[in-house]
Chains A and B, each alone.
Chain A
Amino acid sequence: MAGTIYKKPILFAVVVTVAILIGTAVMMVFPMLTPQMHPKLQNLKPYTALQLAGRDVYQEEGCFYCHTQTVRPLKAEVMRYGEYSKAGEFAYDQPFLWGSKRTGPDIARVGGKYTDKWHYKHFNDPRKLFQGSNMPSYGWLADRQVDAKATEARMKALGFPYTKEEIETLSDKTKLDALVAYMQSLGHAVPRKPRPPMIAKGDMNPLAGDMNAVAEGKKIYEMNCAACHGVDAKGDIGPDLTDKEWLYVVGTIGDDTIFFTIADGTKKDMEFEGRRAKGGMPSWGEFFGKKKIWSLVTYIRSIEEKE
């Protein structure tokens, strides 16, 4: 009996079909029918028209070939990128854009990490911010208008809520505006967890004046901070670090405050020694650790204008 199947092509094809459908049923169809494949976090919002237009640009330009959008629950990965990705963050993603290769970094948690200004500058010329970057420049997207009518049709097709005014404002947006808006929306459904402070208020810099720490701090600065504060630290996207102004007020601040701004970043109207931050500084605490941050503080102290 078993041998005759090789003489009966139709029967053979039917048996093959059944064989492939068993795995399909268990691994693909069955999960689809269960709620575990359709979770939605409470904070998750559908894309706005501008964000969706940006997501379309992200798709068109094939960004997902080089950037992933899923942080794995691994220690180093959570330190580098932030909280690991949750199933309920992607309910509005049709298609999902997790990607499969990190030629560039993961961007699942990039929303809110940098200012819009940073993104425009970076898209315009990635090598201005990171010398060794191999990302293509996307400044030309600023010369392309968002197609408001097409975006409206797409919002409708996906069933996302929108207002007439929202669509109207699209007509003077560029594809770059849309892409930046999409970047800033990434990861919004998972709140950033506050982390216990890495040092106590009033702690002194254990590396103050240490020449090795100055050299180490300079290296870290050039690699990570020069992009926004300038190679000479005279300021660019971020403020001047050499002048007498600290957090927009003339007069010095404590080493511990510099440590906190580096470790935790700033949000608009955060208070440091009675000064108000404008926001935009990313947090580097997990990334650098205590010693590197103190080295940076030592370096910054070494270049600050003396009285």
Chain B
Amino acid sequence: MAEDTSYEWKPVKGFALSGLFWGAVSVLIGLIISIQLWKPELNIAPFLTYGKLRAVHVNGLAFGFAVAEIFALSYYMVQRLTRVPLLFPKLAMVQLYIFNAAIVAAAVSLLAGMTQSKEYAELEWPLDIGVVILWVMFAVNIFGTIIKRKEEQMYISLWYLIATVVAVAVLYIVNNLAIPVGLFKSYSIFAGVNDANIEWWYGHNAVGFVFTTPILAMFYYFLPKSTGMPIYSHRLSIIAFWSLVFAYLWTGAHHLVYTPLPDWIQTVGIAFTMFMIAPSWGSVVNGYYTVAPDWSQMKTNYLTKFFILGITFYGLQTIQGPTQGLRVVSQLIHYTDWVPGHVHMGTMGWVAMTVGASMYYVIPKVYNTEIYSVKLANTHFWFVLIGQLIFSITMWILGIQQGAMWKAISPEDGSLSYTFMESVVNNYPYWKLRTVGGLLFFIGLCMFAYNIVMTVLQAKKTPAPAGQGR
């Protein structure tokens, strides 16, 4: 492993551990707000109410965790796939410091109520500028390193990284255009229906290009790496990539079904959302067939287990999502707790499992050691799996109940069968069960963090001989 020494692993380590920290904090906040829903006395005004903490939870996980791990793992993959060190390692370290400062500032500002009130784009304009600067730094390093590469052919993961860099830049800048009024407040330059359309063009693609394409980049790189089996079909990955990148931007309007948004936009959005099943499942099938030559790895290699369950949840997510977009389904489950059930299958299932496994692979590599405990990693797997299933399944059941109660009409006299409050009271047992699921997930996450930290400490104590296995 002599060539390792020429690679720049410092930014990889820095972002990986930062993301782990922010991720754990943000999941803990998620756990707290899940309790606030059934125990309103836990809302402590003015800073620790649900309305403030929910923003911190979502932004903490999207920016603090996901984006940090995207930076970390992209910097790992890009060096390996180009066989050259990161072009500007110092820039990446500056980026790391700015990033952590920005996350602190973001959390404080959201607790103080400084928000643009757009989902996934809550941060006020000075922080938006910070995010753009961080992203430009990232882009410079990724593109620079790719251009200087020694490996002529760009592997699939690099396609997804390039798409991520480009798309996030376009989406983020347009949706955050605002009229500043002082340092802490701004108003969207767009209004009403148009603002809604732009926000969900952005919002759905924030999901697409933060929680999908970079995670697919990890999947396509780390699955073959950790199983030792090559990706099943290069051609399938080409088809899946281009159709996904092309179609994603058409789909945002499925968030606005039955709103005053013009019908044609809703319909085209729904149609493209249905089409998205194809490219999504292109990657799912590719993943399954990659492992097909040796399914025994599901027993013997804990990383395979994480990746295969991860891509399975991605597959389920990308069937469920388009189904939800259909008008007939949307009218029942939209605005209900079904939707957080759906979102959390993607984040707690697909993203957390794939990123977790990628980190289990990368951390020992960059610290030149072995993972601290495979047994603990296996336990982590079961905790996050069961925690997530409890979360999502209870929310799906509850969502259908809510939707049915809201639309129930008494056959006797045509009046509404339930008051809104009756539907709220019906939520409590399910919300409590969701907290149990969240708690299991959080315990699993703590095991993960402990395992990673112990791996790092063990490397610092006794540098292991090079040449570790999977």
Contact = CB atoms under 8 A, between A and B. Distances in A.
Contacts of B51: 61-63, 65-66, 136
Given A91-B191, A137-B45, A6 B154 contact: yes
Interface residues of B, number: 98
Contacts of B6: none
Q: Which of B192, B424, B425 has the most CB of A within 10 A?
A: B192
B250 A9 contact: no
Label chain B's interface by main secondary structure.
helix
Nearest to B122: A62
Contacts of A105: 420
B173 to A, nearest CB: 12
Given A62-B55, A92-B191, A291-B413, A6 B153 contact: yes
Interface stretch (A79-87, A177-185, A239-247, A249-257): A79-87
Q: Which of B50, B261, B269 has the most CB of A within 10 A?
A: B50
Contacts of B5: none
B252 A154 contact: no
A105 B405 CA distance: 13
Interface in B166-198: 166-167, 170, 174, 179, 181-182, 185, 187-198
A221 interface: no
Contacts, number: 276
A220 to B, nearest CB: 9
A87 B192 contact: yes
Given A9-B147, A95-B190, A22 B196 contact: no
A39 B114 CA distance: 29
Q: Which of B38, B187, B402, B412 has the most CB of A within 10 A?
A: B187
B406 interface: yes
Nearest to B163: A16
A62 B50 contact: yes
B415 interface: yes
B116 interface: yes
B201 A27 contact: yes
B413 A290 contact: yes
A39 B192 CA distance: 9
A307 to B, nearest CB: 32
B194 A32 contact: yes
Given A13-B166, A74-B331, 11 more contacts: A7-B153, A20-B170, A23-B247, A24-B249, A26-B250, A28-B249, A66-B50, A72-B334, A87-B261, A89-B260, A223-B419
The 10 closest A-B pairs by CB, nearest first: A289-B415, A62-B51, A23-B249, A90-B192, A60-B113, A136-B43, A87-B260, A72-B258, A23-B250, A76-B407
